[in-house]
Amino acid sequence: MSIAQTTQLLQLVLNSALMLIIALAWWGVVVVRLATLTERLQRLPRSPYELRVRYRLNRHSALIMHYVLLILMASLCCLALRALISANSLITAALCLFVLATVGMLLSVVLALMEFYQLNGLVLRSSQTNPEHRPRALPRSLPQGLSQPPAQATRQQDVIAS
């Protein structure tokens, strides 16, 4: 193996190792989030549909990340074997595995973002359905002699009186 080939092989190994570290960090985030959702599902006697959807999205994201980690380790093994065996097909296999793992990690992130937007949708929908958070509608026309709605006029009078 020439010096240029050795340098390229080391760069490929470092890229795969760096991607493996990033994937491990993301896997940790996904697993912690999945554990939190599992705990919430177990605590509730009857789990709402939205929470089950969020749990499923996170479970799929964690499952994909398990496969991504296995694929990245297989990629590293192919590169290590290439250092021992002079077969260029191992580099091609390692690169294909690397690309597959990158696509899997991207899919896991997309699922986590879908769960995040599902969570935001729940917050928005719950604030819209909760009557305490709804703004009161102002009357269309004010009675003669009033320049403000009655609720605002009494608040201003309370502020002036205090």
Question: What is the domain range of residue 91?
Answer: 3-130
The domain total for the chain is 1
Structural domain contains residue 17? yes
Structural domain contains residue 135? no
pTM of the model: 0.70
> What is the reported pLDDT for 159?
46
Structural domain contains residue 144? no
> What is the reported pLDDT for 125?
62
* Least confident piece of the model among 79-88, 104-113, 146-155: 146-155
Structural domain contains residue 136? no
Contacts 24+ apart (CB under 8 A), 51-60: 53/118, 54/115, 54/118, 54/119, 57/111, 57/112, 57/114, 57/115, 57/118, 58/30, 58/33, 58/34, 58/111, 58/112, 58/115, 59/34, 60/111
